[in-house]
């Protein structure tokens, strides 16, 4: 257990509402997260990601199961867990009536930082999150994206060993998002454990060392990005751009039973499962439909795997 | 800094963003005493009450009780503001116990209520010649402190259980109407008609205001006052336990 920041065994969380059947939001989930790793919890809406995160962060009591965050049980020792975590919840959360710097100051005080440390770290995050120009404005006067910056920036004020980020990049522009992702990698390299949920799968693909895909409160798949891609079992993505898009492309490809065809302007994006020889036949067929300007064949993306796993039946992964 | 200190710092920072809040909190009981108390005395041509004091002196404890009640309901209402800002759930992941969160949230406003009581009592004597018992000021401070805490915990149960701001406002209006008028806040309880009198004796506002009245002008039977004080302490403890359970269920 010493190498794991988080250990979860047979976690179950049910919700009962009067006059309605019991809902099993999390149904026998088991996983562990290594120290210093970036762990992605993915799944469609209602898969149980946020419920799992709420249990781990002491916001919800589990119905059953064993949990340890940095060795402490969130039910028996919630305070010890809270001393070791920082959390960016899914909803926008900031002290709207306080200025940006006062938001950092109050957060720092809750986490026991001295005034000098608060000042130094405030300087750091103001630059990192490009908030210096707004440092003394009340958060209520900032746009939604800037409010989110303040919320995420707080995580970098403190040194808790575990960081939970629920949809952290909502409202961030691509440049800032890239900078925050780089900082998250640095934090992980320093030994902090990052647990994140996201709907933006490219983000998880870029960032996560370890990914758990949930569906219906259970594990649908688990592994690093390369392991997950192996699960795709011959899933290919073909992107082809024609000089003039042929009209009959969908009917022409129907014989290959593609999982998805999206045609936009002169470009067709096709996802197909099959043997390599069959994919090569398909590419040749595409070449006969019209003049090809650009052609790219790649293995499945995380998004393809995600859609396949969560839209179809549950996959057992060893 | 302790969790209690941190949450007091936060509440203080939020209050300090608008000094009108603090000014209003400090001076509104005095304003009520001047407008309502003096107005009633002059307009109705009121003579000293049968219990031997004039209405301004009698009403001083009433405005202090009302101020405690008002500041407590406003503080509890701020749970809705925290929820709307999203910060409520984030704060529940901060390194503090739920009990510290609850106490810390009330503590800054308890200090404001003490300041409010000092301003009101000092100016009541200087401006209205209310015969204040200065020797009982420690008791008054304790009564204001415990009173505001008790009513804050009472309202926190509803603020944490009810999810709708408008419903909470309706609940507070109902409590204002019933609890303030079926009590010793505006008039002595003894001459009231029977059902209202019994209701008033069972009302924690009566217990609180009677202690405040004893502490400010020495009115009341000490043995009954101590009993009412003990009952209010029990009420505060029960409300704290109830609010804590409600907070843990969030």
CA distance A196 to chain B (A): 16
Last residue of a domain, which of A199, A229, A259?
A229
Half-sphere exposure of A307 (CA within 13 A, CB side): 10
Number of domains in chain B: 1
**Whether residue B79 has pLDDT greater than 60:** yes
Contact B75, B147 (CB under 8 A): no
Give the pLDDT confidence score for residue B49 in this predicted structure.
63
Tell me if the pTM is above 0.90.
no
**Whether residue A146 has pLDDT greater than 70:** yes
Q: Are residues A221 and A237 in the same domain?
A: no
Give the residue numbers spanning the domain of A144: 4-229
Judge whether A305 lies within some domain: no
Gap between the Cα atoms of B117 and A278, Å rounded: 86
Q: Do B95 and A102 touch (CB under 8 A)?
A: no
What's the token pair of residue A1? 């257990």
Number of domains in chain A: 2
Q: Are residues A148 and A182 in the same domain?
A: yes
Judge whether A136 lies within some domain: yes
Q: Do A97 and B17 touch (CB under 8 A)?
A: yes
Q: Among A19-23, A275-279, B32-36, B101-105, whose mean pLDDT is lowest?
A: B32-36
**Whether residue B90 has pLDDT greater than 80:** yes
CATH code for position A119: 3.40.50.300
Query: Measured between CB atoms, does A119 come within 8 Å of chain B?
Result: no
Judge whether A184 lies within some domain: yes
Q: Are residues A153 and A283 in the same domain?
A: no
Give the pLDDT confidence score for residue B225 in this predicted structure.
95
Give the pLDDT confidence score for residue B46 in this predicted structure.
66
pLDDT mean over B26-34: 78
Residue predicted with more confidence, B226 or A260: B226
Last residue of a domain, which of A214, A229, A244?
A229
Query: Measured between CB atoms, does A112 come within 8 Å of chain B?
Result: yes
Residues of A in contact with B97 (CB under 8 A): 79
CA distance A304 to chain B (A): 33
Mutate to test the interface with B, among A106, A140, A164 (most CBs of B within 10 A): A106
Q: Are residues A293 and A212 in the same domain?
A: no
Judge whether A314 lies within some domain: no
* Residue A116 binned pLDDT confidence (cut-offs 50, 70, 90): very high
Q: Are residues A77 and A122 in the same domain?
A: yes
Q: Are residues A205 and A86 in the same domain?
A: yes
Last residue of a domain, which of A183, A202, A229?
A229
Residues of A in contact with B244 (CB under 8 A): none
Judge whether A157 lies within some domain: yes
* Residue A1 binned pLDDT confidence (cut-offs 50, 70, 90): very low
Gap between the Cα atoms of B106 and B125, Å rounded: 29
Q: Are residues A142 and A77 in the same domain?
A: yes
Contact B218, B133 (CB under 8 A): yes
Give the residue numbers spanning the domain of B57: 3-248
pLDDT mean over B89-112: 91
What is the ipTM score, two decimals?
Answer: 0.84
Q: Are residues A225 and A257 in the same domain?
A: no
Give the pLDDT confidence score for residue B51 in this predicted structure.
65
* Residue A155 binned pLDDT confidence (cut-offs 50, 70, 90): very high
Judge whether A307 lies within some domain: no
Q: Are residues A241 and A218 in the same domain?
A: no
Quick: pLDDT tens for B138-158. 999 999 999 999 999 999 999
Give the pLDDT confidence score for residue B19 in this predicted structure.
79
Contacting residues for A87 by C-beta, under 8 A, at least 6 apart: A57, A163, A164, A166, B90, B93
CA distance B120 to chain A (A): 29
Q: Are residues A186 and A41 in the same domain?
A: yes
Q: Are residues A70 and A201 in the same domain?
A: yes
Judge whether A108 lies within some domain: yes
Q: Among B50-59, B141-150, B159-168, whose mean pLDDT is lowest?
A: B50-59
Q: Are residues A274 and A157 in the same domain?
A: no
Closest CB from A96, A97, A112 relative to B1: A112
Q: Spell out which chain B residues touch chain A, with contact meaning CB-CB distance below 8 angstroms.
A: 1, 3, 5-7, 9-10, 13-14, 17-18, 85-87, 89-97, 250
Quick: pLDDT tens for B9-27. 998 888 888 778 778 777 7
What's the token pair of residue A6? 């988080």
Report the percent of chain B where pLDDT is more than 90. Answer: 52
- Among residues A26, A7, A33, A14, which one has the least CA distance to residue A222? A33
Quick: pLDDT tens for B233-248. 999 999 999 999 999 9
Residues of B in contact with A138 (CB under 8 A): 17
**Whether residue B98 has pLDDT greater than 90:** yes
């Amino acid at each position: 257990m010493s190498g794991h920041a988080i250990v979860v065994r047979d976690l179950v969380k049910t919700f009962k509402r009067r006059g309605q059947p019991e809902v099993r939001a999390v149904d026998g989930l088991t996983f562990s997260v290594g120290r210093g790793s970036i762990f992605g919890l993915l799944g469609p809406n209602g898969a149980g990601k946020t419920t799992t995160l709420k249990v781990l962060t002491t916001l919800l009591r589990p119905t059953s199961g064993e949990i340890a965050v940095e060795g402490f049980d969130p039910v028996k020792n919630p305070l010890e867990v809270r001393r070791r975590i920082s959390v960016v919840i899914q909803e926008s959360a900031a002290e709207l009536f306080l200025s940006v710097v006062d938001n950092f100051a109050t957060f720092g005080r809750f986490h026991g930082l001295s005034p000098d440390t608060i000042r130094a770290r405030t300087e750091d995050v103001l630059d990192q999150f490009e908030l210096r120009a707004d440092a003394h404005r009340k958060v209520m006067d900032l746009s939604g994206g800037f409010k989110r910056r303040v919320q995420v920036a707080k995580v970098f004020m403190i040194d808790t060993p575990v960081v939970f980020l629920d949809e952290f990049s909502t409202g961030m522009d691509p440049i800032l998002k890239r900078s925050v992702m780089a900082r998250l990698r640095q934090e992980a390299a320093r030994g902090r454990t990052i647990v994140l949920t996201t709907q933006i799968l490219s983000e998880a693909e870029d960032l996560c060392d370890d990914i758990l895909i949930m569906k219906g409160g259970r594990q649908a798949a688990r592994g690093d990005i390369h392991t997950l891609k192996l699960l795709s079992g011959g899933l290919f993505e073909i992107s082809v751009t024609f000089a003039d898009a042929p009209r009959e492309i969908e009917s022409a490809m129907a014989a290959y039973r593609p999982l998805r065809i999206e045609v936009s302007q002169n470009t067709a994006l096709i996802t197909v499962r099959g043997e390599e020889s069959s994919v090569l036949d398909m590419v040749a067929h595409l070449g006969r439909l019209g003049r090809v300007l650009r052609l790219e064949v790649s293995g499945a993306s995380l998004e393809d795997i995600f859609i396949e796993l969560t839209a179809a039946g549950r996959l057992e992964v060893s | 800094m302790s969790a209690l200190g941190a949450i007091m710092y936060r509440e203080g920072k939020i209050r300090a963003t608008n000094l009108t809040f603090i000014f209003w909190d400090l001076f509104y009981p005095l304003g009520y005493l001047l407008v309502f108390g003096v107005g009633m005395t002059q307009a109705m041509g009121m003579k000293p009450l049968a219990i031997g004091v004039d209405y301004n002196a009698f009403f001083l404890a009433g405005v202090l009780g009302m101020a405690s009640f008002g500041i407590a309901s406003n503080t509890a209402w701020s749970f809705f503001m925290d929820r709307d800002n999203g910060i409520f759930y984030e704060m529940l992941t901060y390194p503090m116990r739920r009990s510290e969160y609850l106490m810390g949230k009330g503590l800054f406003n308890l200090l404001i209520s003490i300041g409010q009581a000092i301003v009101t009592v000092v100016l009541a004597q200087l401006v209205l010649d209310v015969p204040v018992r200065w020797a009982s000021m420690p008791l008054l401070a304790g009564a204001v402190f415990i009173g505001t805490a008790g009513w804050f915990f009472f309202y926190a149960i509803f603020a944490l259980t009810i999810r709708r701001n408008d419903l909470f406002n309706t609940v507070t209006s109902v409590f204002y109407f019933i609890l303030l008028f079926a009590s010793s806040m505006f008039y002595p309880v003894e001459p009231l008609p029977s059902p209202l009198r019994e209701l008033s004796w069972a009302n924690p506002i009566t217990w609180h205001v009677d202690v405040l009245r004893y502490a400010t002008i020495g009115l009341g039977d000490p043995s009954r006052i101590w009993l009412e004080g003990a009952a209010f302490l029990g009420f505060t403890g029960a409300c704290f336990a109830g609010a804590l359970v409600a907070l843990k269920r969030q």
